[in-house]
Structure formats: structure tokens, C-alpha cells
Structure 1
Amino acid sequence: MTIAELSNVPEHVAIIMDGNGRWANERGQPRSFGHRHGVEAVRTVVRAAAEIGVKYLTLFAFSSENWRRPETEIQDLFGLLKFFIRRDLAELHSANVCIKVIGDRHSLTSDILNLLLEAEETTRNNDGQTLVIAFNYGSRDELARAAQSLALEVQAGRLDPSQITPDAIAARLDTAGIPDPDLIIRTSGEERLSNFLLWQSAYSELMFVPEYWPDFGREQFFAAIERFGARSRRFGALAPTAAAGS
């Protein structure tokens, strides 16, 4: 498939990168082996998304529920994040990519937090693609933090309860200023959102693909974009043909 064959490229694509562990297990390897190969898939997809003009790419890197995993696996995931940023930050910066991190930062160790802050600060003024890294992110936690922020403003007398609108909530989410995802892709064949962008996905197109994340490359990404382009997005309205005949 060539880039010329793609039409209706989404502005914002979000991906739940799932299946690293199962990919490794099927090869008789430890889960860390799958995570390492998953990082290479990240590099491939980031480049492919920029190539076709995806303006925002959000990757679910570490969920707030992932703390339940074995400590050795958590440390391995943290190590891979460090490796990815240290290796690729200069390349992303030179490609005019702006990095934004969403998620709860309070429980992160200083080395991880400082690295994420460095990536954001280094690329802050870039105006090309925005790469959103969801790290220690959970949508319910994000909504709770937004509600707490609104409650404090009401308590302080700066906000009337009648002013708590959908726009007011959206403005206090981690994704404030970022358009809602047009397309959410989950790899590995699982068909659920797993606490990812629950508010923002109200009208997202959902796509569940069978490939494990390490096998999700340029060709698979372009195939998903092609499928997205064939869908009709109505946002609650009638399809054009139905409206014309009504």
C-alpha cells in the first residue's frame, strides 16, 4: 500500500499497544523480550504516522493499573522508556515533533519524571506532529482529578456549579488543548478500552486488530488508516443519503 492510496487520514490516532508479553511467550522468551521489540514498533509507527500527516499520535505506554505487575517487569518497562527517550529524543526534536505526557505524575520516581519533563521542555516549541505519551495514565483517575479541580474552584467561589459544562470538564483533563482521537487502535485482538481516554473517545472510531504490538508495523498501520477512511462518521446525525431521503 502506498501513501497516495490513503485518503481521509485522521488528525488524531490513539493506540493501545497490547500483546508484547504474549508475543514473547509464543517465542519461548521472557516478557521483557516482547517489550524490547515493542519499542521498535513504537519507532516504526511514530515515523509512519508522521509520514502520512497524522497530527496527533497518542500511545498508551504505562497504565495506572500496570503497577499490579511484577516489580521486575515494571522496572523493565521504565528502563525501556528511558532508553527510548534518550535514544530518540534528538531525532524527534529534529523532526519537529512536540512531546506531551499525560497521566498522574505524583507517584513517579524523580529520574523518570525528570526525563519526561526534559522531553516535554526540549520539544515544547515544535509545531509538527504531537506525540502524546500516556504514562501512569488511567482515564478514571484523570476524570477524578478534573472533578476535584472543579470542586476546589466551586469551594473557593471562583466557579458556579452551573458553569460545570462538558467544555469545563474537558479543559481540566490531561488532554486539554488536544483534539479527541478520531481513531483508537488496539492490538492483540482484545476488544476493550481498558480505562483509556474514556471521555475523549465518545465519538472515536474503534479498531481492534489481531496483531500483537511487536508485529504492528508500517503496513499494518496504513491498513488501519485505510479502513478508517472507509467508515462514515455521523456524530449522532443521519448519514447523508438517509437525510436526503427523509
Structure 2
Amino acid sequence: MPKPIREGTGPRHVAIIMDGNGRWAQSRGRPRLFGHHAGAKRVREIVEACPDAGVRYLTIFAFSTENWKRTQTEVAGLMSLFRRYITKEARALMGENVRVRFIGDRVRLDRKLITLMDELEVMTAHCTGVNLTIAINYGGRDEVARATRRLAQDVAEGRLRPEEIDVETLPKYLDTCVLPDPDLVIRTSGEARISNFLLWQSAYAEYEFVDTLWPDFTAEEFAGLVGAYGKRERRFGGVIA
């Protein structure tokens, strides 16, 4: 279990459920994809704000396993946006010393997008600044199910004994195995639910639900939420003396 954290300590890892792109566009009489493009531009600003805010890891929820239920036009547009974003931002991310990782099940994604994701991870593997993790075709339950299958396979093949399995074992099989758990999870757009995002990892995270639609979420608001986190006493079930 994590140790209690005293007041004044900021979050090292912030995760964001970037919600509200479609509503932002529709309120302006534009198609939903217009909002997704605006939201993609906002990502750059928040990534750039992380160092000054003391945030070392940023994880963003770009596309969930449930988002396939949206219209074919919107899904195709999002996949095109992801490909264009990676192609356009790759050099800038390297220049800003940002290391990029992707989490989620890649099986359903198109080959070109998977190739771009793989290439960006390799291109930024040497970067030592902000660690940006992008969740695409990601769902917390799906991740745990996939991790459990891998764990069960190791047991079946004799690489792991059942009695060796404890709460420290499963995280080694999760998509986020090389990342620390999030300290703070932010959801924009006024919705107060976690939407199947980092279910295992966020067991001890603090949550902030804000009314701002994602394309309007500024670096200043981000810094304010990070600062407010630092005033909390996080006991993790214990008592701070």
C-alpha cells in the first residue's frame, strides 16, 4: 500500500479523461469531428504545461473499447486524426524531450496506425522529460482480462506458481507495468464517472471532475488542479501523525 503523503506534495502522475469534444463542436453548430480536432490541439498545451507543474507522467484517454459503438463516420475520422496527430507531432514531441507510449489492445486498429504508434515509441524511447501515455482502444476491464490471460498462461506453462500470485503480481502484466499509478485523475465536461479508465491503477488516486469541455481546458486550469492536489492529505487508509 502507498505511504501517506503530506500536504504540499504534488502529483507525479496525472491521468485525464478528455471528455466533451463532441458537445463543444455541436454547441458551435459544427460536426463532432471538429471538436475532436480542437481537442487534439489542446493536448499539446497540457503536455507543455507538465514540467512547470511538476508532473512527470501524463496519461490521456483518447479512444475507449466502447467508442467503437459510435457512428462509422466518427470512428473513421478519429482513426484518421490519430494517424495525422502522430505524423504531425512526432518531431515536436522529440524536440520537447517527451517520451510517448501507447496502451490498449492494438489488434483491432489498422496496420498503418499500429506502425506509426510503434515508430513513435521507438523514436522517443531515449527522451527523459515528460512521459506521455496515450490510451487507444483501451478499457480497464479489457486490460485486466488480457493481463489475467497472460498470467494464467505463465501458470499453465510453469513459469509462475499459483501461491506466488498476490496484489503485486497482476500489475506486472498490465499495459502500464512500467508506469507508476496515477496520483490524480481529471475528467472534463461535467460528467462524474470513470468510464472504465485505469481501474486497477487508480485505486488510490484522487479525482477531479470539472465542468470545462476538453477543448476549453487550459494550462492554467490544469495547473490549478495540480496545485489543489498538493493541499490534500492522502492517508491511504492510514493516519498522518
Asked if TM exceeds 0.5, the reply is yes
Q: Which SS does the other structure have where 2:169 is aligned?
A: helix
Q: Which position in structure 2 is the counterpart of 1:176?
A: 177
1:9 is displaced (CA, Å) by 2.6
1:76 is displaced (CA, Å) by 1.1
Give the structure with the larger helix fraction. 1
Give the gaps of 5 or more residues in structure 1.
Answer: 1-6, 241-246
The answer as to 2:205 corresponding to 1:197 is no
Q: Distance in 2 between matches of 1:39 and 1:158?
A: 42
CA deviation digits over 1:152-187, x for unaligned, max 9? 111112211111111110000000020000000000
CA deviation digits over 1:116-136, x for unaligned, max 9? 001101011212111000111
Q: Distance in 2 between matches of 1:94 and 1:23?
A: 31
Q: Quote the RMSD (CA, aligned, Å).
A: 1.1
Give the ranges of 4+ consecutive aligned residues of structure 1 lying more than 6 Å apart after TM superposition. none
C-alpha contact 2:53 2:226 (8 A) present in aligned 1? no
Q: Which position in structure 1 is the counterpart of 2:52?
A: 51
Q: Distance in 2 between matches of 1:25 and 1:128?
A: 36
Q: Which position in structure 2 is the counterpart of 1:136?
A: 137
Q: Which SS does the other structure have where 2:168 is aligned?
A: helix
Amino acid at match of 2:190: G
Q: Percent identity?
A: 50
CA deviation digits over 1:25-77, x for unaligned, max 9? 11111101111110111111111113323110000011111111111101111
Q: Distance in 1 between matches of 2:78 and 2:95?
A: 25
Give the gaps of 5 or more residues in structure 2.
Answer: 1-7
Amino acid at match of 2:22: G
Q: Which position in structure 2 is the counterpart of 1:145?
A: 146
Question: Relative to structure 2, which stretch is displaced further, 74-83 or 170-179?
Answer: 74-83
**Structure 2 counterparts to residues 198-213 of structure 1, below 5 A:** 198-213=199-214
Q: Distance in 2 between matches of 1:226 and 1:50?
A: 13
C-alpha contact 2:13 2:183 (8 A) present in aligned 1? yes
Q: Distance in 2 between matches of 1:106 and 1:75?
A: 16
C-alpha contact 1:150 1:164 (8 A) present in aligned 2? no
CA deviation digits over 1:126-148, x for unaligned, max 9? 12111000111001011001111
CA deviation digits over 1:78-97, x for unaligned, max 9? 12212221111111112111
Q: Taking CA–CA contacts closer than 8 Å with sequence separation of 6 or more, which of the two structures ends up with the larger relative contact order? A: 2
Give the count of matched residue pairs.
234
Q: Distance in 1 between matches of 2:123 and 2:178?
A: 19
Q: Which SS does the other structure have where 2:147 is aligned?
A: helix
Q: Which SS does the other structure have where 1:167 is aligned?
A: coil
Q: Which SS does the other structure have where 1:166 is aligned?
A: coil
